[in-house]
Amino acid sequence: MKVLLTGGAGFIGRPVLAQLVAGGHDVTVFDSLRADVHDQPPAVQNLVVADVRDADAVTAALAGVDVVVHLAAKVGLGVDLNDIDDYVSSNSLGTAVLLRQMGRLRIEHLVYASSMVVYGEGRYECARHGRVAPGPRRIEDLAQGDFEPPCPYCGEFLQPGLVDEDACPDPRNAYAASKLTGEHLASAWARETGGRVAALRFHNVYGPGMPRNTPYAGVAALFRSSLERGEPPQVFEDGRQRRDFVHVRDVASAVAAAAVADHPQVAAYNVGSGTVHTIGELAAELSRAYGGPAPVITGRFRLGDVRHITASSDRIKAELGWKPSYDLAAGIASTVSEPQS
């Protein structure tokens, strides 16, 4: 099978490339090598250096392709409105250009890298009102250390749970909005062309090769960078924010499974480890693994963050036969022991 892998030179892209090649597929990597992601050009075979918004370059790269894996995106929190047009252009317009050219060439299968951020806050239950959606976070509450979202009806604190793919999306920053727009565009493309799309909603990805000191670095990478400088990880809020941390190789195996699967025409899948950890626990695990100073709970906050978001990955396990291989301890051990980017 011939695969076009956009964003294939990145943190997630390189393990996806390795998985696809190991599966016997012919892979062309398409990557713009953005300066805010790549300090130096990576050693990647069959690399086309171009922007996914360049229709001519996309058309040339799509020649003879059977399936497209679309990872290319500007990522990050997207809380600065100075970046909002770049998120829309890089992510939404880039996806639209790719889909248009796929339609013209009658390429019928897309695996789209989405994100947990499309949900906004995760699933919550109120003891009195059942399943409810919390309202937007308020600066005055966060400044007072009131981090847990209250029930919008009675004001009592809510119990977080696992969010599934049928939850109503609620993107709360520019990046999240752009990823959800990509899902909607891909869904429209599938219905208009008869193609198929699998949108994989990655949860918090970590592992060897995490970018450092860039807007693309997630919380695990930021903690690691602090420890490598001999400094304690700086944990925002009270450290009790719940997340699902999934190893990059598990993400890669999920992508590879979706690329060959006979999934429904328009399918969304959570890709998580299935185990809930707090951000404070992640920081403590990294500190132990590096033999560094204990994390510092700062009480600081970002309005664009969400309090709790953890996944149910039952659907991808049932429909694609995928399952994660790494628990947090093993994943952290590989992150510490293997070469980093």
Asked, for residue 129, whether it belongs to a domain, the answer is: no
Q: Tens digits of per-residue pLDDT, 171-208?
A: 988 999 999 999 999 999 999 999 999 999 999 999 99
Q: Tens digits of per-residue pLDDT, 16-26?
A: 999 999 999 99
Q: How confident is the model at residue 43 (pLDDT cuts 50, 70, 90)?
A: confident
d(CA 134, CA 160): 11
Which H or E run includes 181? helix 174-193
Q: DSSP assignment of 120-132, as one string?
A: SS-EEEETTTEEE
d(CA 15, CA 257): 13
Q: How confident is the model at residue 209 (pLDDT cuts 50, 70, 90)?
A: confident
Is 95 in contact with 178 (CB distance < 8 Å)? no
pLDDT attached to residue 9: 95
Q: Tens digits of per-residue pLDDT, 274-328?
A: 999 999 999 999 999 999 999 999 999 988 788 999 989 999 999 999 999 999 9
Asked, for residue 141, whether it belongs to a domain, the answer is: no
Tokens (6 digits) for 81: 């409105």
Q: DSSP assignment of 77-101, as one string?
A: ----GGGHHHHIIIIIIHHHHHHHH
Asked, for residue 321, whether it belongs to a domain, the answer is: yes
Residue 247 has pLDDT above 90, yes or no: yes
Give the contacts of 136 (CB within 8 A, at least 6 positions apart): 172
- Identified catalytic residue from 87, 175, 290, 326: 175
pLDDT attached to residue 41: 72
Asked, for residue 325, whether it belongs to a domain, the answer is: yes
Asked, for residue 173, whether it belongs to a domain, the answer is: yes
Residue 151 has pLDDT above 60, yes or no: yes
% the chain with pLDDT above 90:
82
pLDDT attached to residue 339: 63
Asked, for residue 151, whether it belongs to a domain, the answer is: no
What mean pLDDT, rounded, does the chain reach? 93
Q: Which residue has the higher pLDDT, 137 or 270?
A: 270
For residues 46-70, one letter each, b for 16 or more C-beta atoms within 10 angstroms of the residue's C-beta and e for the rest, the string is: ebbebbbbeeebbeebbeebebbbb
Least confident among 139-143, 217-221, 231-235, 260-264: 217-221
Is 175 catalytic? The answer is: yes
Instruction: Name the residue among 59, 69, 52 with its Cα closest to residue 18.
Output: 69
φ, ψ at 136 (rounded to 5°): -60, 145
φ, ψ at 331 (rounded to 5°): -65, -40
pLDDT attached to residue 80: 66
| 76-87: average pLDDT | 77
pLDDT attached to residue 310: 94
Asked, for residue 154, whether it belongs to a domain, the answer is: no
Is 6 in contact with 31 (CB distance < 8 Å)? yes
What CATH number is given to the structural domain containing 102? 3.40.50.720
Q: What is the pTM of this model?
A: 0.94
Q: How confident is the model at residue 255 (pLDDT cuts 50, 70, 90)?
A: very high
Least confident among 36-40, 246-250, 317-321: 36-40
Provide the domain limits for residue 202. 2-123+161-337
Residue 341 has pLDDT above 60, yes or no: no
d(CA 74, CA 176): 11
Residue 196's CB is within 10 A of a number of other CB atoms, namely 20
Number of domains in the chain: 1
Q: Which residue has the higher pLDDT, 80 or 315?
A: 315
Q: How confident is the model at residue 78 (pLDDT cuts 50, 70, 90)?
A: low
Asked, for residue 43, whether it belongs to a domain, the answer is: yes
